[in-house]
Amino acid sequence: MLLFGGVMVILDNKYKTKEDVIEENDERNIVIKQKAKSKAFDLMVVMFCLGLLTLTLFGYMNEVSFFSLIGLYLLSVFYYGYQLVLNKKAM
């Protein structure tokens, strides 16, 4: 399945027309994609936190899994903060 996905990406990039490339690099489309990713990240942060809390309260989480997932959660939040500071300095 992974191989099939890779082949499809290669074929998709190979047969792009000039209009497709221009549309893909259009600033409005880039801003739309960035806003969608931003909303998805916000949702992921909330859902991940609630899911982690739910699994812990119901007893389905052991200590290693809990602290590993908390570490990944904190890493993503810290990286978000880091990128926020970099983007504010750049603008």
Q: Which spans in 2-26 are helix H?
A: 2-14, 18-24
Question: In the chain, which ranges are continuous DSSP H helix?
Answer: 2-14, 18-24, 27-57, 63-90
Three-class DSSP category at 17: coil
Q: What is the pLDDT of residue 65?
A: 83
CA angle 77, 40, 86 (to 5 degrees): 45
Q: How confident is the model over 47-83, as pLDDT tens digits?
A: 888 888 888 888 888 888 888 888 888 888 888 888 8
Token pair 């600033």 is found at 27
Give the pLDDT of residue 58: 87
End-to-end CA distance of the chain: 42
- Secondary structure letter of residue 91 according to DSSP: -
